[in-house]
Structure 1
Amino acid sequence: MGKNIGFVSTRFAGQDGVSLESAKWAQVLWDDRHVSYWYSGKSDRHPSISHCVPEAYFGFSENQWINERIWGRTRRSQDVTARIRDLAGYLKRTLYDFVEKYKIDVIVPQNVLAIPMHVPLGIALTEFLAETQIPTIAHHHDFYWERTRFSVGAVQDYLDMAFPARISNMRHVVINQAAQEQLSLRKGVSSLLIPNVFDFDNAPEGPDEYAADFRSEIGLTDEDIIFLQPTRIVPRKGIEHAIKLIGALEDPRCKLVITHEAGDEGFEYADRLMELAREENVDLRFVSDRISEVRQRDSEGRKVYTLWDAYAHADLVTYPSLYEGFGNALLEAIYFRLPIVINRYSIYVQDIEPKGFRLMEMDGFVTQHVMRQVRKVLSDPTYRREMVEHNFKTARRFYSYSVLRRNLRTLLTSLTGMTS
């Protein structure tokens, strides 16, 4: 008999890793007749299955007030403690309402007990789970000790208590080996490693009629070579390496197209990239205003495309990240059978590289070897086809929905005693 699964986070909306991976989990669970419901502060899930509590969003004004007073310092005032407790108390009551409303059987916290962007919600959920003993699968994407902005704070007592919580009815899931090791070392907690996945059992379709004019709409021609950077514009994405690579190729057909926007960590990095592109004589295109989660028309009547449309028209993907918790865009590029230039960030080296993918790898800087590989990929269709087909088959083996399905069945069985 299927279970009612309650996903909990601060936000289920947009193209962030938590929102994307939770949707994949829900899809796989649905195949086994489990129905998913959503608790969050911001949501793009259907209202009939969503319990949206604005105070649970990390951008809620009261939570922002708290964050300004607990990070970057080692002491908090009595007033801050009181307001943390007040908000946590309110959120705990809404969690009870959520579970009662949808008759939830299993709770799946999505990163909300790993990264302390909303400390009151983490406290509320931990206390709720301790009081109810409801079976829980905590899916941790990135921990506070992996982020320098959380390295100094005045809430170590709450971090010890709730990020993550140690409760007998909870199973922990991490997305990479380093996180698994650190969770065991720091918290004495065992975990199951479930990497990010993609639906490699169903190959993507080619560009359809709607997306046929994507190139012309962003000012490019069929002769142009699109180097796609399918990430947000933040320093850890290492986008300057993509600019350096294209500049060194000295081919005016090569254009760098960045699909996501800046702003999460300020605009200084985007300004620096534009300056560098001018210096390197690289045609850099920011197209976030033409990319959305759904196809539509903007206020000026222009077509808006999806990220999948951009992948379908790309010739090569640049992924020169300095750090990633896993690397969703990497799987997406492999899924769309695109060659990839990648920087060997630590999680890639430890978890992904040993699987045997054929990628154009760099170690912190662009080398002549990488440039030769890029030129060969662009000029030799047979070499390119063999590379991308090998990568697709390898990813299907290690990162498909079937891998996720087996692991979720194991977790649910251990928690509920039922096989389906």
Structure 2
Amino acid sequence: MNMALLHYRGGLMDGVSLEMDKWKKVLEKLGHNADIVAGNKKEGVDNYIEDIGFENKLYRIINKNAFEKLEDFTEDELVKAIELESDKLLKNFEKGLEKYDVIFPNNIWSLGAFLPTAIALKRYADLHPEKLFIAHHHDFWWEREYFLNSTSKKIEKLLEYYCPPVGKNIKHMVINSIAKEELKKRKNVEATVVPNVMDFEEKSFIIEGLNKKIREYYDIPKNSIIFLQATRVTRRKAIELAIDLIEVFNKKVKDKKGEILYNGERFNGEILLAFSGMCEDDVYFDELKKKAKELNVKILDMYNAVEKGIWSFWDLYNISDIITYPSILEGWGNQLLEAIVAKKPVVLFEYEIFLSDIKNSGLEYINLGNEYEMIDGFVTVNREILEKAADELIEILFNKEKYYGIIERNFEVGKKYFSFNTLENIIRNLLK
């Protein structure tokens, strides 16, 4: 069958784009023709449909009036503008989706990031009962404060009706059990839980010797300790916790200079926190840099090399000794799986979905706890937790048997529960 993985955007490093890439591989392995269809022209997008995404000229103005402040329209004029744009986008869908038998809308019917697209797609589904729509809900509008601040009851009603909609030819997928329960409560529909997955058979981005090559590019000695923050730079990632941890670790590891690391190198005393993800909040990143300077934590931003194509996002996992994942809010956790496939130990904060959907799998990690408070705009955890985590890090990084034991056991857990085989089985059931 011909299948479309549909999103506002594709070919990027956001979680939805990454998941669609994985779905494409699995669908093609199952014998289907699968295209990534999006509203942006980017390498990795197979079919471009104009104006359904964030490049639509009306995107910012409609959203500003719908969720921030009515300035350009009255309430009725705003609804009318949304309807008119939906009429136009319906025509775009008629042309762009014609050849597909099964369409997987990603977030379009859940996040409500551009209401005209959600409305147009529902109308298209109603006009084509012969097509199957399996909606993949990664994030819901009721989970984001921005979308909760709707300027009118009419906008709220549109969100409630279309995000997500209900229809005979529409099935629903969510990425965690909490979302499944909430969707059942709100819309009385049953959803299939689909965890994030990784290809545990594909090791092409773990190339022997690449660690050394990239470190030489950045003039980093092979016997330094590198923490990698591989997420995007945005506040919910709570990257300040990684800085706090490294500050404690720096003090505890001083007397380890000259001792042998897990990889056989003699530790030179240098510790870096490297960033490989795109920055989505410049103000926040500046705050992090200031905090790191005050706490004597050295940082390195490597994303420019990704943007320029010097290194891939995947390559940069191989520069690190350990991955920091202190996020306090995740729909699932792509970077966690990436770290497991890349065979790196992980430091993580036990965010809600990790506790409900992932922890029982048996993954091993350095724990930053599951409670925090906000102090001066930063997420903070108890100092004792940081002290304990730093001690565990030292035990792992200076113990070859322990280090490799953890990463190999985690790899097997990931392969068992979060591999492409898991996704294949789910897709087969959805297509029955």
Match of 1:275 in 2: 290
Match of 1:323 in 2: 329
Q: How many residues align?
A: 396
Flag the 1:326–1:346 CA change in 2: closer, same or farther, 3 A.
same
Report the alpha carbon displacement of residue 152 of structure 1 after superposing the two structures with TM.
1.7
Contact 2:173 2:191 in 1 (8 A): yes
Whole-angstrom CA distance in 2 between matches of 1:83 and 1:184: 31
Match of 1:173 in 2: 173
2:299 counterpart (284, 287, 292): 284
Whole-angstrom CA distance in 2 between matches of 1:199 and 1:93: 37
Contact 1:333 1:339 in 2 (8 A): yes
Whole-angstrom CA distance in 1 between matches of 2:176 and 2:243: 29
Give the superposed CA RMSD. Answer: 1.8
Match of 1:407 in 2: 426
Flag the 1:286–1:275 CA change in 2: closer, same or farther, 3 A.
same
Contact 1:204 1:335 in 2 (8 A): no
Superposition pairs for residues 14-413 of structure 1, below 5 Å? 14-45=12-43, 49-53=46-50, 55-72=51-68, 76-100=74-98, 103-133=99-129, 134-153=131-150, 154=152, 155-204=155-204, 206-207=206-207, 212-250=212-250, 251=253, 252-262=269-279, 264=280, 266-292=281-307, 296=309, 304-363=310-369, 364=372, 365=381, 366-413=385-432
Per-residue CA distance 1:130-176 (angstroms, 9 max, x = gap): 12122111001010011111112131121122100111111100001
Match of 1:395, SS state, is helix
Whole-angstrom CA distance in 2 between matches of 1:83 and 1:205: 46
Contact 1:355 1:394 in 2 (8 A): yes
Whole-angstrom CA distance in 2 between matches of 1:204 and 1:387: 21
Contact 1:13 1:44 in 2 (8 A): yes
Contact 2:8 2:54 in 1 (8 A): yes
Per-residue CA distance 1:229-262 (angstroms, 9 max, x = gap): 0011111111111111111112542100011232
Whole-angstrom CA distance in 2 between matches of 1:350 and 1:398: 15
Q: TM-score, length-normalised on structure 2?
A: 0.88
Flag the 1:38–1:167 CA change in 2: closer, same or farther, 3 A.
same
Match of 2:135, SS state, is strand
Unaligned runs of 5+ in 1: 297-303, 414-420
Q: TM-score, length-normalised on structure 1?
A: 0.90
Report the alpha carbon displacement of residue 210 of structure 1 after superposing the two structures with TM.
7.1
Flag the 1:345–1:46 CA change in 2: closer, same or farther, 3 A.
closer
Whole-angstrom CA distance in 1 between matches of 2:278 and 2:175: 25
Whole-angstrom CA distance in 2 between matches of 1:115 and 1:288: 27
Match of 2:5, SS state, is strand
Match of 2:173, SS state, is strand
Match of 2:58, SS state, is helix
Contact 1:211 1:305 in 2 (8 A): no
Whole-angstrom CA distance in 1 between matches of 2:6 and 2:429: 21
Report the alpha carbon displacement of residue 203 of structure 1 after superposing the two structures with TM.
3.6
Match of 1:318, SS state, is strand
